[in-house]
Structure 1
């Protein structure tokens, strides 16, 4: 089949028809035709030749050309598509490296095999263009809600027709008790759009917290307008959810606006989510108040926050314990997701027992270390003293406020505390030395004898050993495995060494060893500060 004047315009008509059917640029179809014709010509003239085809966008005329490029003598590999400067002189005036010589060659007759090959090239190029168009159309729609029609179900995954292609609603993104049949209309959240070898993959979800947020945005005009913001959302899909809302207009109640007249707005969302119960909670920057709201309908007696460990203890009356925890831990789990904190729930009786145990432990410490009777030791604990260091080094005036303590008694208490601490320090240092403590680590500023004893017991005996430690190995931390936070105990964690203090000590050790320069440490610290400032501001 030769490209004759009779069918030149047909190329453009075919390209236009295919482009309209696949909703892609006609130019892409013509480029695919040019490549397919070029391949057919190479099979006729030789695969080593650089044959190119250009189709005029107006007349449809296909021009076949052979291109030869000027290369250096030692780089000449393909004499059919390249030639040297000397070889190019008969064809080009003053040829230079990189120049090309283009000559037109006669069109080829396409046999059956060549025509089939050309067809495959066009189909492939059109398919790639179609996939690219689909990806470009949906990549910016990730994070939005779309309506689709169920086509089929494959191994528990639902394939959804979204108009310009297909998308996948995977098994774990479906609300548990939902089932679908071909032809059912479905509203879904576009969770992710990826470009893959088999084409763009569009992943949908009905369980994502963002799906609920977008549903409220559609139902509540104040959220759409930005007057009300959903600050956090936690879901147990198909069962229960909690959202935290804040109003930037003092005249608008955020909870009431989301509920709507007679519950009409929230009910529309509940109906879409197959009856999922939704608790709407007012947001506040105060973590304790926010948590009390998040644990509703349970009543909270007391909240204790440990910001370093990102944990929080909540004390509730005995009769409120099951309500606070919820069925299968659902209420406390959702509250934890909403606040971003691990929550421990205690009854008033459990907290009382724990406080009593701590009181007795500190009383026993003061009795044994300071040689006091039980009554006097209890007085110290009641006044807020928790350890011997506080007794030994506190201002004398703070001891004089205790009933029955005069200056002489206060001095004696502090002397006993210091003697005991010194004896403990000597014992700890002796144990560390016996375990192999090196002088360079013993003289390192910031490490107490008890810290050195703990380090040597774990095999850290030299300054070099210490410098190779990670900050979390010293201060402890948290690891997330399978969605659960797991505590990593630090060697110096019992001594209240923070992560920042651990980082400073490790870097100081590395500077002393010459592993890094002081300038690098300063630069790194400044860079860290600059990197964290925007995040803190955004928070």
Structure 2
């Protein structure tokens, strides 16, 4: 025998370690074999290629030195000449290995300690792999555990067959945990790290609330009710948007439960966090009005391009709509994905009066008319001189106190003003060095070209390199807050679609793309849309 333990004891040890660490018996036996190989090398030479095999049924152990067959051997501890190898095996070829049996050996104290370290290391690695494989598939689930210890505000949780960590920022504020406490948390990440798999848990993650409602509300578990979005201020307040796929079931009522039993179970788990359950709607205006509950909304104005909405509330409802430290409007914004500006009726009236005065002054200066005419035009909904210049004359002559002759005169003055402005801007455009070729792009005006020139965009190639965001602006969302970045054409009435069309024209003119490229792209998009429609139809039939 190679070791003092008999065969039966060896297998019993492997079985015990495998059960204790919840890993395969074969992994333990392989670790033992590696340990024996390492110990044998210390005896027979570290340069030797030694292999140990343990029979998983009998426990019998074989120790061999492997010698590679070469034409002419240089290192006889690892190689064997071809002629000598064929004395042992007539079929031996260069590159084959000849097994040279080694006699049994007894482990010394140092060799035994080294073997033990190898076994411990291999078993630990196998245990870490098992933990990672087990928990990586549980990301997105709620898991139960026991608080093991608290370190610098981070809670280490014993999960039975592994350890998880709830970092301080993933804990509900003012929530105190002590060793031995039972805890439920959401698994949001599992990472393989040098010190072993790290299982990250959270009690503040929005999906933690979703999973809790799924456990408490059978209709959500069955898919009859869907939670479309969640916004949380952990430990304080939350809003969830729900919709029912069955018109006979009230999604809000189902989530609240009889006398609030279902929602109270979730509130209790979340340390008293108040939860507003909102009916989800396809109509952004209705959805946002619902999301601002309990405040009442008088009027909304949407800007779909910027995903921004202006909400007007009665003066006495302002504090309720904004909420304590802006909490209500912030959660509503997170829930809906829209930026929400809240105004009182008085503020909105003041702002409208200011806009009215600005438009009146614009018409007075541009058209050389008195204040009364400017006010009439502004009150009729005209906002720009361009609208007056190119609208149907009948729309002006139909205004009370105006006739056809007045309409013609107003339009003539408007066009004269625009021509003068265009000439001034064109001169400025030339000073900036903006090429005449940019005028070929439909929709670009001298004022726009000046804005481009001031930003260093002076040629067709420069403009072709722009993105739509550069022209009309874009929004970025970070930490629940939305930041708006202005584009070069922010002051002009240019939509994202118009901007994209202008850029395509520039790229065609610059030779970056061809009409054939556009046709192929359009055909590909059409085919993709057709495939999606077919899949949707098949799903409905199923």
CA gap of 1:92–1:447, structure 2 versus 1, over 3 A, is farther
Describe the superposition over 1:102-126 as per-residue Cα deviations: whole angstroms up to 9, x where unpaired: 4433344322222111111110111
Confirm or deny that 1:144 pairs with 2:178: no
CA contact (8 A) 2:441 2:505 kept: no
Q: Tell me, what secondary structure is at the counterpart of 1:160?
A: strand
Match of 1:304 among 295, 301, 304: 301
CA gap of 1:434–1:20, structure 2 versus 1, over 3 A, is same
CA contact (8 A) 2:360 2:378 kept: yes
Confirm or deny that 1:183 pairs with 2:148: no
Residue 181 of structure 1 and its aligned partner are, at CA, apart by 1.5
Residue aligning to 2:347: 350
Confirm or deny that 1:319 pairs with 2:319: no
Residue aligning to 1:14: 13
1:70-469 maps to which residues of 2 (within 5 A)? Answer: 80-81=77-78, 99-469=96-466
CA gap of 1:19–1:425, structure 2 versus 1, over 3 A, is same
TM-score normalised according to structure 2 size: 0.90
CA contact (8 A) 1:507 1:521 kept: no
CA gap of 1:362–1:12, structure 2 versus 1, over 3 A, is same
What count of residue pairs does the alignment treat as equivalent?
534
Describe the superposition over 1:265-314 as per-residue Cα deviations: whole angstroms up to 9, x where unpaired: 11111122221111111111111111111111111000111111111111
Residue aligning to 1:26: 25
Describe the superposition over 1:135-186 as per-residue Cα deviations: whole angstroms up to 9, x where unpaired: 2222222222222111111011111111112111111111111111111112
CA gap of 1:290–1:502, structure 2 versus 1, over 3 A, is same
Q: Distance in 2 between matches of 1:315 and 1:101?
A: 88
Q: Tell me, what secondary structure is at the counterpart of 2:476?
A: strand
Confirm or deny that 1:66 pairs with 2:77: no
Larger CA deviation: 166-175 vs 383-392: 383-392
Larger CA deviation: 101-110 vs 303-312: 101-110
Confirm or deny that 1:493 pairs with 2:482: no
CA gap of 1:78–1:380, structure 2 versus 1, over 3 A, is farther
CA gap of 1:66–1:464, structure 2 versus 1, over 3 A, is same
Confirm or deny that 1:2 pairs with 2:6: no
Q: Distance in 1 between matches of 2:200 and 2:404?
A: 75
CA gap of 1:72–1:192, structure 2 versus 1, over 3 A, is farther
CA contact (8 A) 1:478 1:488 kept: yes
Residue 132 of structure 1 and its aligned partner are, at CA, apart by 1.4
- Name structure 1 gaps, 5 residues minimum: none
Residue aligning to 1:39: 38
Larger CA deviation: 275-284 vs 322-331: 275-284
Residue 491 of structure 1 and its aligned partner are, at CA, apart by 1.3
CA contact (8 A) 1:48 1:78 kept: no
CA gap of 1:146–1:87, structure 2 versus 1, over 3 A, is same
Q: Cα RMSD between the aligned structures?
A: 3.0
- Name structure 2 gaps, 5 residues minimum: none
CA contact (8 A) 2:14 2:28 kept: yes
Larger CA deviation: 133-142 vs 311-320: 133-142
Q: Distance in 2 between matches of 1:432 and 1:92?
A: 91
Residue 98 of structure 1 and its aligned partner are, at CA, apart by 5.0
CA gap of 1:503–1:51, structure 2 versus 1, over 3 A, is farther
Describe the superposition over 1:186-242 as per-residue Cα deviations: whole angstroms up to 9, x where unpaired: 222222222212111111111112111111111112112221122121111111111
CA contact (8 A) 1:85 1:96 kept: yes
TM-score normalised according to structure 1 size: 0.90
CA contact (8 A) 2:334 2:480 kept: no
Confirm or deny that 1:51 pairs with 2:50: yes
